Homo-oligomer: A and B are copies of this chain.
Amino acid sequence: MDEFSVKFTAQRKTVRVKRGTDILTAAVKCGIPLSASCGGEGLCGKCRVTVTAGKFRAGDSRLVSAADRKKGVVLSCQTIVEGDLEVSIGSSSLEERGGPDDASREFTPGGPSGSEKAFAFSPLVRKVAIEVPGPSQDDNMPDLDRVCDALKAATGKLHVSTRLAGVKHLQEVLRDSDYKVTAVLAYKDDSIEILAFEPGDTSKANYGFAFDIGTTTVAGQLIDLAGGAILGTRIAFNRQSVYGSDVITRIIYASSPEGLEKLNAAVIGNINEMISDLATQCGVGIADVYAVVCAGNMTMMHLLLKIDPSNIRKAPYVPATSVFPPVHPSELGIRVNPKGIVSFLPGVSTYVGGDTVAGVLACGLFDSDKLSLLIDIGTNGEVVLGNAEWMIGAAASAGPAFEGSGMSCGMKAVAGAINRVEIGDGLKVTPGTIGGGKPEGICGSGYIDLLCQMRRRGIIAKDGKIDPGIRSGRIRKAEGVREFVVAFGADTASGRDITVTEDDIENLKRSKGAIYSAVAAILKRVDKKISDVEKIYIAGGFGSYLNIESSIYIGLLPDTARQAYSFIGNSSLTGARVSLVSHEAYEKTLEIYRKITYLDLGSDPAYMDEYIASLFFPHTDAERFPSVR
């Protein structure tokens, strides 16, 4: 079989590939982090490169202008290698653009959490300062014994365990600090485990990280475990995205040689960068971070722990495990204090993971006597219905559209993202951005508002097509696809127009349809109506804003009493944080995951019917949305 070499000139890397390989694959093969948030589908246009020499066959993409095409610009995912190539990659096509600009953008987490108040403040790792009597002729107990006695008295816990690493330097620490030391303790049930000792009273310097490892985005928070305050939050695209946009493509990639290692290294890179950035920004020493809690879906947990995820996509779809034992940071290469612990929230099933359990914890559904519904809008949409007595959970593949990925002008919910939109008379568009600056793109809540407003103003029809009859400079065709200009270049941060295309709208329609029909199917299964549900918690990485009214108007959320709704933001991150600041909450997740019954929508005939019917704005069956009508 023919083989060709592909040389990436700026990166000084050359790789040999078989004829028929695309350039994106070649780049990935030699470790170059090309952006491809659509997963190599030719949709996001982010993987553009310039071929400076050699023979290739470029796909026909409207995302590359004719002028650019003449210069050799191509979408790497759509361009087949047919000879030895030389390729130049502009810095904007690299996933890891780094720099403080991208990283320092603040992400405002969602609204209040019901359960943060429900659990006593009792972090997974606490620092307890003690003063122990020094040894004497009459009291020559071993150092550890005298320390354990003091810890039992100080904490009220009867069982103290320890690890070798924790006690190795105890003697030194005790003597160097005149027997005034701080014990770093992991709390579990009614016992404590000694992780380390520090000289003097360091009890105020105790920090932890909570992470939500999403398929599309990774969010992290630095928490002051001495007081409970959130010191900072970061959000970034999951670096695994370069290997595929959804869990299925990542699982396939994990089976390729070194695929699992690369996917693992990618997300560990996300985590370590966030840790380092947030710690630096907040003036926190890495050595003062002993606790990390991660929540994520089953595939993300497998990849994070470097466990082969392949059985997740093979029938009958079983994960290796749904409970992940805590590990030491070094086992994963996470750069916090090596004597610390990293904990993970358990999942229910292959498609209802620890992120959903975190959400159930965060909204307090598990503890309520009211029938409640949690809808978590992410790349997968998860739905849990129930109360303190019973819970049933399901998942639907929604795609990354609401996370701003795979969209022509999509972005995460960070500063610069359009997160709300008004369209007035004369199609005057008033976008609001996170941070208030010039818009750079559109995030999930912005798209929801936009669809609602476009539908209200008749710009799009029930099926999502842009009305060709409207005469406006905002409506035009680019490369054969109709689009609506949300902001013209003069008003945007980049100087380029921000638009929503009919392809984008199709993506959004499928996403909202998947989520709505999951809710409908789960209600049908337990023979309940939406009006029976007293509380509806909407979760998702939308930043601080989601317009419930707009969501109902486009048929994403069911049409019921508005006061039933509350938006709880990134509940996976909230659940991870609640578990970090309360070991009782963490232990509660080990009950919650067992209690949730999993409903497999793929094998539920009601689901597919619901889905097909939901591919309209708001729905095929207008009766379901009386307030929209």
Q: Mark A132-148, 1 if CB is under 8 A from B, else 0.
A: 00011101111111000
The answer on a CB contact under 8 Å between A142 and B603 is: no
Q: From known contacts A308-B172, A311-B171, infer whether A317 and B140 are also in contact, taking CB-CB under 8 Å.
A: yes
> Contacts A168-B306, A171-B308, A306-B168 given: A140-B324 contact, CB under 8 Å?
no
Asked if A162 is at the interface of the complex by the 8 Å CB criterion, the answer is yes
CB interface residues, A 147-184, toward B, < 8 Å: 161-165, 167-168, 170-172, 175
Chain B residues contacting A319 (CB-CB under 8 Å) are 142-143
Show the binding face of A for B, using Cβ within 8 Å.
Answer: 135-137, 139-145, 161-165, 167-168, 170-172, 175, 305-308, 310-311, 315-325, 327, 331, 349-350, 600, 603
In the complex, which of the residues B140, B170, B323 contacts A350, with contact meaning CB atoms closer than 8 Å? Answer: B140
Bound together, the chains give a CA A162 to CA B305 distance in angstroms of 14
Known A171-B311, A308-B172; judge A144-B603 contact (CB<8 A): no
* B321–A144 CB distance below 8 A: yes
| Chain B residues, Cβ within 8 Å of A136 | 316
Which of B170, B306, B325 contacts A320, CB < 8 Å?
B170
- CB atoms of A323 and B164 under 8 A apart: no
Query: What's the minimum C-beta distance from A280 to chain B, rounded to whole angstroms?
Result: 29
A140 surroundings in chain B (CB, below 8 A): 316-318, 349-350, 600
Some 26 contacts from A to B, beta carbons below 8 A apart, are A135-B318, A137-B315, A137-B316, A137-B603, A140-B316, A140-B600, A141-B318, A142-B318, A142-B320, A142-B349, A143-B318, A143-B319, A143-B320, A144-B320, A145-B322, A163-B325, A164-B305, A164-B324, A164-B327, A164-B331, A165-B331, A167-B325, A168-B305, A170-B321, A171-B320, A172-B308
Which of B163, B321, B331 is in CB contact (< 8 Å) with A167?
Answer: B321
Measured in the bound complex, the distance between the Cα atoms of B320 and A168 in whole Å is 8
Among the interface residues A318, A322, A349, which one has the most CB atoms of the partner chain B within 10 A?
A: A318
Bound CA–CA A517/B317 (angstroms): 72
The chain B residue with its CB closest to the CB of A326 is B164
Residues of chain B contacted by A170 (CB below 8 angstroms): 320-321
Q: Sort A-B residue pairs by CB-CB distance and give the 3 closest, nearest first.
A: A144-B321, A135-B318, A142-B322
A593–chain B nearest beta-carbon distance, Å: 10
Residues of chain B contacted by A307 (CB below 8 angstroms) = 167-168, 171
Instruction: Give the CA-CA distance A433 to B306 in the complex, in Å.
Output: 58
Q: What residue in chain B is nearest A598 (Cβ atoms)?
A: B140
**A324 CB, min distance to chain B CBs, angstroms:** 7
A360 to chain B, nearest CB (A): 18
* Nearest Cβ on chain B to A226's Cβ, whole angstroms: 27
| In contact, B321 and A142 (Cβ under 8 angstroms) | yes
Q: Name the distance in Å between A601's Cβ and chain B's nearest Cβ.
A: 14
